[in-house]
Structure 1
Amino acid sequence: MTRPGELKLKHLFRPGQIGKFKTRNLVKYGACCVSNYNGRDGSITPRELARVRVIAATGCGLITNQGAYPDPLGEGKAYFRQVAIHDDKFLPQFETIARYIHDAGAVAMQQILHAGRYGGIDLGYCVQPSVVPQTLPHFRPPRELSKDEIRAIVKQHADAAKRAIRAGFDGTEITSFMGYLLANFNSPFTNQRSDEYGGSVQNRGRFMRELIDAIKQATPDNPLSVRLNGAELMDRWGGNTEDESFELMQQAVDCGVEMISVTVGWQEAPESSFGRDVPPGYWNYLSAKAKKMFPGVLVAFGNRLPDPAMADECIRDGVFDYWEVCRPLLADPELIHKAAEDRMEEVRPCIGSLNCLSRLFRDLPYTCTMNPMLGHEFEPEYHITKAAEPKRIMVVGAGPAGMEAAITARQRGHAVTVVDKADRIGGNLAAYAANDLARPADLQSVIDYYGVMAKKLGVEIRLNTEANAKFMRSVLHDFDVCIVAAGARTDMAVFQYLEGSELLVDALEVAHGRVKPGKRVVMIGGGMIGLTISEFLAKAGHEVTVVEKEKRIGGDIMPTFKWRHTAWVDELGIQSVTSAQLIKVSKEGATVKTAKDEEKFIPADSVIVSSPRKANHDLFHEFQWMIDELHGGGDATVPRGLDQAIQEGYRLGCRI
């Protein structure tokens, strides 16, 4: 039976075909992240298999399993717990994965990933076409590949492809995404060879052509996809131009690949390719160009394209053939099903915070800001199950932690009431969203999601209601459980004995729009909150100086987005004074003391305080003898970020 969303998104949900294999729709699950859930030897763990079951059930017509390294030495291994496909001993686990995908009705592809410049994580060195020093210090020093070694790598890829097909996969994929070995050969930045593998675009593409030819010969009846950059974003380092990137695509097409997956950027690219600062659809022109140039080859694309409706329009307009999606399905594995059922308002949104990559680049298992269950599918305690005894739960605070706890507990059968003193849900996240330079709509979508789900599930919301001892006495015995998720506040008391402390302005008051600062601003605290508000004020024409007690600003910002804030600080002309503490305030400005014990006066009309933050945990003491069960979560326990708030809210909802 055709579902209502399938009628609306008729292009996305029409059947497709790659090689001889038919797909039920035009959605390709992209191998965008290595999970880091596996053994250090490349073996696949039960945790990974549980995750693959979820991927298989996403409803995608074509599913690409995460990249496996093809060499026994591990020169191609990029991540501590990356899966391996260099030996037949791994075949049983890959057979299980292929079976999961097929049982769910999808076509199965296996990605082969040799990390090149970013590999050798267990070896202390990496291999490249040429010895080009790393621009990021955490990667290993390079060694140049000999021709014999190049031939060996080509054979390793072909052998890996044969293993994948023997394991039951329908096709394979090789990738240059993010600056891996294929990209290293293609790019003049990392390929400075003078032999037949270097120099011209044609020569630089030789390694790719040999890879394709070897894999096609090894698996002649099975489709091959190649992920290639439409834009490297490596101009600063002398990388490929867009025209050169498309010349390389042409070479792949001429070699007979069935699909080109268009990607954007390297890990060390000095600009963003799919973070929150990139608007959805920004890179669509690259896939449109590929589709126009290569009409006889399937084009897959999904870079910063989280919306099924936009994907449907793109397929209709010939921008690409398959919507390649990964991170939105990390955030909500039910995305495709909800789209098919016309329930898009219930989708947990991917907000592009890149928490997944931040953890991956720190060699940790990837998680998702919006999906607390990601990576814990194997653990029963993370599953939403029927409560043994339905309880009456009061949640104090309608921020992310409180709302996540509320909707999770309600799904388990508890009766849930959320109280908040504000006139809207969202807590301080709503204020930060209003000051966000990246994309306020992404953060607002989190709040909108919670509003929709609370209404759908029957969570009672009491706004303009302050929870205190008096309120609790008025509802005494109406509730069995209280979850304190009241967030955090700026700890203004830290400065109460400073001269002029009465002139200080709370950053939250500015963020909520209740206080309008003067032209010249000093921001005390260079963390996420201080920088977000400072950037917004600077963009509006204020002159801003950030004072931070640590050596660097942005200490609490996710690694993959820290550079963006640093860039905004430079672009907007925001001054920063680090290793400094506020010692005096006057109507003329602020006086700080530096690490050298020197006093520095900074002229200002407003001195705003964003740090330190203090948990709003006073209610724990007030409610201790008024309720059977008392729990806390989010910033009300320890002030941190959005991901921790949602994770803790979910765990509380699952546990009570």
Structure 2
Amino acid sequence: MTNNKDPLLQPFQLKHLTLKNRIMSTAHEPAYSEGGMPTDRYRLYHVEKAKGGIALTMTAGSASVSRDSPPAFGNLLAWKDEIVPHLKRLADDCHSYGTAVMIQLTHLGRRTNWNKGDWLPVLAPSPIREPAHRHFPKEIEDWDIERIVADYASAAQRMQEAGLDGIEFEAYGHLMDSFWSPATNRREDEFGGSLENRMRFSNMVVDAVRQAVGPDFIVGIRMVADEDWDKGLSREEGVEIARRFAASGKIDFLNIIRGHIDHDAALNDVIPIQGMAASPHLDFAGEVRAATRFPVFHAARIADVATARHAIAEGKLDMVGMTRAHIADPHIVRKIIDGREQQIRPCVGATYCLDRIYEGGEALCIHNAATGREGLIAHEIARAEKPRKAVVIGAGPAGLEAGRVLAERGHSVELFEATGKAGGQINLMVRNPRRKEMIGIVDWRLAELERLGVPIHYDTYAGAEDVLALSPDLVVVATGGFSQSPELDAGDDLVVSSWDILAGTVKPEGPVLLFDDNGGHQGMSAAEVIANAGVDLEVVSPERFFAPEMGGMNHVPYARLFAERGVRITINTRLKSVRREGNGLVATLGSDFSKGTMEERRVAQVVVEHGTAVNADLYFELKPHSRNIGAVDYPALVARRHPLPKRNPESGFDLIRIGDAIESRNIHASIYDALRYCSLL
């Protein structure tokens, strides 16, 4: 690697530690911990990145140093002695691949809630509410400061004992930088007012940690150097804080953040999602590096190798964080080294990973179902003992993934698609310009299928007789579903679907009422297209808030657009019926909470979103002819054994159906279906 001219593959010397290349995964919390401990699932997630050649994996996002910093999203508990052996095993395993391991330590301050953990008071420099966690913190006292400083020091000692290569402090949105920011520090004592006073707490922590771990252990800080907020920490003061840390001789690297995170909209600017600018803070991080002449790390939607390479080659960064990119593909570095950059699975910016932490309690990649499941499913598909002839029907995300996995297994695969284009419902999603990056899910798989020599037969409707004529050993039905409408008392024939709007077969005519009875991106993408067309729109949902399936990060762009376009949002309300009146329509709305309450809306168009109805005719035609009669042994599937029983031994083929051909779900579920089944067959 040292002889390679690629800037990304050059080593970086950080104190005594040689990082073998310039790519890292920055600290983040995937919520895989058990009882605050990084057990096997957590460990294997990081080890996979080490296998993939990454130079540095930063664990935790962040690990709590004190009891009164309770876990808000699966945080590790660095204040417990029992964390040491878990981290030692993680570090040892990563070190065996030449990957360095560090951990991020913090006191969450006000970025959590009192009803977590031990129900202790949550602290902040001043008692100012944090909107994201809806919390009113206690103003920190002198004795709190004394014990928390000591907690930082003892936590750092535990990390050193575990054999980690270093630590970094978290200082954006948490306790440490809450002292720095005028938005959260209104104190009039020695911890408020001047910049020197506002840095007093963080300097106390750094001094105590250095005394505890000695001068050689690596200590860095992930810090906000500009809150980009009229009442927050200014760029000038933020860069000055960075300068002071660099000059102190007690900090070894700066990991630079720009923005503030006290509510979802602000967090989106710090951690951009699809449809937003890529690497928006890279130049700023480079300016901090130039101002401090000090090692600088940075990550913020640096999702592609070309941008990462530019960041290093132009001297903007010393280490480039590709964190979400490694959730999509933990083997990025190895593919660069092997000259296989074109095979890197792209991060499409869907941010299912982050939203899933709060909505489902675990980080998952929208189109790499092996991430977070390393103990169950390998990222590299093993070859089957005996090649089989496989037929896959449907070239949506489920069918494309099935074809890819089966081909990697060494099977002979043919894929049939009834339309002239692969992608299924993703082709509808990308009709919303903001979500065009989702096509990467399709394009990557098409490239992989071409590499693997899998033919795709487009414009081919494969019936049961056609499939049987091919004499397959395995048939995968991935025929997806059709849009469906909610059950109405009347007027089913007067509504149009979100699919109609996204496909462009129906143009928005205002005013529009959109009834979303699904709660995901489908209805909201249609709403976004309608709003961008300049048409008056009301979104009606029976839920407590609109689109609850999406999560906070993806909620932001829709909410921002709706606010800017004057879209009316009506919750806890259900569409009951539609009737024609003159040239328009009258939608009758009711409530699940009051049976007798009804109101009407006079509109030009009613759009509905109610998930999909399965398209499974082919499956049911093939079912009686199959070896397993369509049955699946679920305990075997979950335990990663062959899941298809032999109920009809005379048959020559096994049959499975996956994705929306089973039930209305999402992209991740479809891809997980394909991976978990086909990697066993």
Shift of 1:88: 4.3
> TM-score normalized by structure 1?
0.90
1-structure distance, mates of 2:418, 2:426: 15
Shift of 1:304: 1.1
Aligned equivalent of 2:313: 316
Aligned equivalent of 1:479: 472
Q: 2:48 aligns with which of 54, 78, 84?
A: 54
2:666 counterpart of 1:641: yes
2:274 and 2:349 in contact (8 A); partners too:
yes
1:598-650 C-alpha deviation (Å, 9 max, x unpaired): 3423331x443333532223333222234432222222222122222222221
Q: 1:411 aligns with which of 408, 413, 434?
A: 408
1:495-552 C-alpha deviation (Å, 9 max, x unpaired): 6x844x5454343233233444446544343642122122123223333333434453
1:569-610 C-alpha deviation (Å, 9 max, x unpaired): 122232344413152243733311222643423331x44333
1:234 and 1:266 in contact (8 A); partners too:
no
2:265 counterpart of 1:270: yes
2:498 and 2:608 in contact (8 A); partners too:
yes
Q: 1:368 aligns with which of 365, 381, 397?
A: 365
State how 1:122-521 maps to structure 2 within 5 Å. 122-124=117-119, 125-137=121-133, 141-177=136-172, 179-218=173-212, 219-232=214-227, 235=230, 238-256=231-249, 257-264=251-258, 265-266=260-261, 268-271=263-266, 272=268, 273-274=270-271, 275-295=273-293, 297-362=294-359, 364-379=361-376, 384-437=381-434, 439-440=435-436, 442-469=437-464, 471-472=466-467, 475-476=468-469, 478-492=471-485, 494=487, 498-499=490-491, 501-518=492-509, 520-521=511-512
Other structure's SS at 1:345 match: helix
2:304 and 2:346 in contact (8 A); partners too:
no
Residue type at the aligned position of 2:103: Q
1-structure distance, mates of 2:516, 2:34: 41
| Structure 1 residues 163 and 525: alpha-carbon distance in aligned structure 2, compared to 1, 3 A threshold | closer
> TM-score normalized by structure 2?
0.87
1:491 and 1:613 in contact (8 A); partners too:
yes
1-structure distance, mates of 2:318, 2:296: 5
Residue type at the aligned position of 1:75: D
2-structure distance, mates of 1:599, 1:92: 62
1:177-230 C-alpha deviation (Å, 9 max, x unpaired): 4x2222322222332222111223332221112222222333201232110113
2-structure distance, mates of 1:55, 1:267: 30
Residue type at the aligned position of 1:196: E
2-structure distance, mates of 1:111, 1:559: 23
1-structure distance, mates of 2:262, 2:447: 36
Residue type at the aligned position of 1:602: R
2-structure distance, mates of 1:612, 1:376: 27
| Structure 1 residues 363 and 635: alpha-carbon distance in aligned structure 2, compared to 1, 3 A threshold | closer
2:25 counterpart of 1:29: yes
1-structure distance, mates of 2:83, 2:570: 54
Aligned equivalent of 1:610: 609
Percent identity among equivalent residues?
26
1:94-149 C-alpha deviation (Å, 9 max, x unpaired): 22222223222233323223222234631224222222223235x65523322222
2:575 counterpart of 1:581: yes
Q: 2:655 aligns with which of 627, 630, 635?
A: 630
More displaced 10-residue stretch of structure 1: 73-82 or 249-258: 73-82
Which structure 1 residue ranges, 5 or more long, are not aligned? none
Shift of 1:381: 8.1
Other structure's SS at 2:624 match: coil
2:12 counterpart of 1:16: yes
Aligned equivalent of 1:95: 88
Aligned equivalent of 2:555: 562
| Structure 1 residues 380 and 635: alpha-carbon distance in aligned structure 2, compared to 1, 3 A threshold | closer
Which structure 2 residue ranges, 5 or more long, are not aligned? 591-595, 627-652
1:310-361 C-alpha deviation (Å, 9 max, x unpaired): 1111222222221022111111001122233332322222222222222323
| Structure 1 residues 600 and 618: alpha-carbon distance in aligned structure 2, compared to 1, 3 A threshold | same
Shift of 1:80: 6.3
Residue type at the aligned position of 2:672: Q
2-structure distance, mates of 1:493, 1:173: 51
Shift of 1:418: 1.8
RMSD: 2.7
Shift of 1:558: 2.9
2-structure distance, mates of 1:359, 1:268: 17
2:649 counterpart of 1:652: no
1:234 and 1:269 in contact (8 A); partners too:
no
State how 1:49-128 maps to structure 2 within 5 Å. 49-67=43-61, 69=63, 71=65, 74-79=67-72, 81-119=74-112, 121-124=116-119, 125-128=121-124
| Structure 1 residues 361 and 603: alpha-carbon distance in aligned structure 2, compared to 1, 3 A threshold | closer
1:69 and 1:77 in contact (8 A); partners too:
no
2:490 and 2:577 in contact (8 A); partners too:
yes
Aligned equivalent of 2:629: none
2-structure distance, mates of 1:464, 1:373: 31
| Structure 1 residues 49 and 455: alpha-carbon distance in aligned structure 2, compared to 1, 3 A threshold | same
1:439-474 C-alpha deviation (Å, 9 max, x unpaired): 41x2011111111111112222111112334544xx
2:538 counterpart of 1:542: no
Aligned equivalent of 2:644: none
Residue type at the aligned position of 1:489: F
1:591 and 1:599 in contact (8 A); partners too:
no
2-structure distance, mates of 1:363, 1:112: 24
Shift of 1:398: 1.0
1:404-429 C-alpha deviation (Å, 9 max, x unpaired): 12211221222222211121111110
Shift of 1:165: 2.4
2:585 and 2:603 in contact (8 A); partners too:
yes
More displaced 10-residue stretch of structure 1: 220-229 or 348-357: 348-357
2-structure distance, mates of 1:534, 1:293: 45
1:589 and 1:601 in contact (8 A); partners too:
no
